[in-house]
Amino acid sequence: MARPGVRILLVVAILATCWGQWLPAAVAFNRCQYVYEYFSYCIDFLVGCQLVVPRQCCSHVRKLNFLAKHMLGPRLICNCIEAMVKGMEPPLIAYNIYALTLECSIHLSFPISSSMDCSKAHSLLKPTEGPTMAQFSSRLIQYLCLLLIVVLLLMGFSSSSTATESPSIICSDVFGYFRKCIGFLTGIKPCPGYACCISISELNEKTQQLQDGPKTVCQCIEDVSYVTKSIYNFSRIHQLNTICQKHLSFPISIAMNCSK
């Protein structure tokens, strides 16, 4: 257990880290995280993977409109969207952006583009309108830092740590991630879509954390194809890596020796 003097120094170091390093990064992330979450419901339509605007897309675009008018401002939302879709394949379709406003019966208070000058999207938020999202985020991080310090003090900075079980994955987990890509891999859908790319990336990360991850996931995917009677298109498997910009650490097949 650390001595009182050392304990105080550790608390000061943690406090300085929270305010000096964690806070700016956390605020920057929090300012875009709502945009990333809400706008993701519209991406498949905007790139042409869906022919009809999803109902969830319209409801979340209205939320973004509210944020643009009252909290974040159109300029920040524009920057967040650009960061989200820059380099995305397939790219945004200009007509679908226009069609989105018609289908959702909404006038956008922020621009949707992958390459526009967001400085021209003037912010509608005035300083007198109340606390901003950044201020809320700042207070939240401060409270979390204080909570962390209190917890460390109560624990006495014990150096002992409980043993943790090694991560594992079961086929139901694999199916939960992989099912969003089956339509593309079997040739039913023209492109994988945003949800597929996100899910396959998360599955890839989990696979890399496991000792026998590639072997386990490979076998689960084969089991999924057997149960769903899916036949994967070989060229689509390669396209998935390219479009989602991800090198998969596990093979996708319906009849290979996963032990290799």
The proportion of the chain whose per-residue pLDDT surpasses 70, expressed as a percent, equals: 70
Last residue of a domain, one of 95, 129, 163: 129
Asked if the structure places residue 100 within a domain, the reply is yes
CATH number of the domain encompassing residue 74: 1.10.110.10
pLDDT of residue 58: 93
On whether both 123 and 29 belong to a single domain, the answer is yes
* CB atoms near residue 176 (< 10 Å): 13
SS3 58: helix
pLDDT of residue 91: 87
Q: Which of the 8 DSSP states describes residue 73? A: -
Asked if the structure places residue 151 within a domain, the reply is no
On whether both 120 and 226 belong to a single domain, the answer is no
The least confident of 76-85, 223-232, 239-248 is: 223-232
- For 40, the domain range is 4-129
At residue 49, φ and ψ (nearest 5 deg) are -80, -20
On whether both 74 and 183 belong to a single domain, the answer is no
- The overall average pLDDT reported for the chain is 76
At residue 136, φ and ψ (nearest 5 deg) are -60, -45
Buried b (16+ CB within 10 A) or exposed e, 63-87: ebbebbeebbbbbbbbbbbbebbee
Q: In angstroms, how far is CA 123 from the centroid of its own chain?
A: 25
On whether both 23 and 114 belong to a single domain, the answer is yes
Give the CA-trace dihedral at 237, 239, 240, 242, to 10 degrees. 140
On whether both 118 and 201 belong to a single domain, the answer is no
Asked if the structure places residue 146 within a domain, the reply is no
The Cα 108–Cα 62 span in angstroms is 8
Mean pLDDT confidence for 233-258: 84
Comparing CA positions, the residue from 71, 189, 190, 44 lying closest to residue 130 is 71
On whether both 176 and 123 belong to a single domain, the answer is no
Mean pLDDT confidence for 94-112: 90
On whether both 125 and 175 belong to a single domain, the answer is no
Give the E-state strand segments of the chain in sequence order. none
On whether both 106 and 192 belong to a single domain, the answer is no
Asked if the structure places residue 154 within a domain, the reply is no
pTM above the 0.95 mark? no
The Cα 221–Cα 216 span in angstroms is 9
- Residue-wise pLDDT for 4-41, tens only, equals 555 555 555 555 555 454 444 444 445 688 888 899 99
Both tokens of 145, joined, read: 């830092």
On whether both 121 and 223 belong to a single domain, the answer is no
CA triplet 14, 141, 9: central angle to 5 degrees? Answer: 10
Q: What is the DSSP string of 177-246?
A: HHHHHHHHHTTSSSS-HHHHHHHHHHHHHHHHHSTTHHHHHHHHHHHHHHHHT----HHHHHHHHHHTT-
Comparing CA positions, the residue from 131, 138, 84, 88 lying closest to residue 110 is 84
pLDDT of residue 113: 85
- Residue-wise pLDDT for 116-148, tens only, equals 788 776 644 444 344 455 555 656 666 666 677
On whether both 182 and 97 belong to a single domain, the answer is no
Task: Give every CB contact of residue 187 below 8 A, 6+ residues apart in sequence.
Answer: 233, 236
Could you give the number of structural domains in the chain? Answer: 2
The Cα 1–Cα 156 span in angstroms is 7
Asked if the structure places residue 250 within a domain, the reply is no
Mean pLDDT confidence for 239-256: 83
pLDDT of residue 153: 65
How sure is the predictor about 49, in pLDDT bands with cuts at 50, 70 and 90?
A: confident
Both tokens of 14, joined, read: 């943690």
Angle between helix 94-103 and 55-70 (nearest 10): 90
How sure is the predictor about 100, in pLDDT bands with cuts at 50, 70 and 90?
A: very high
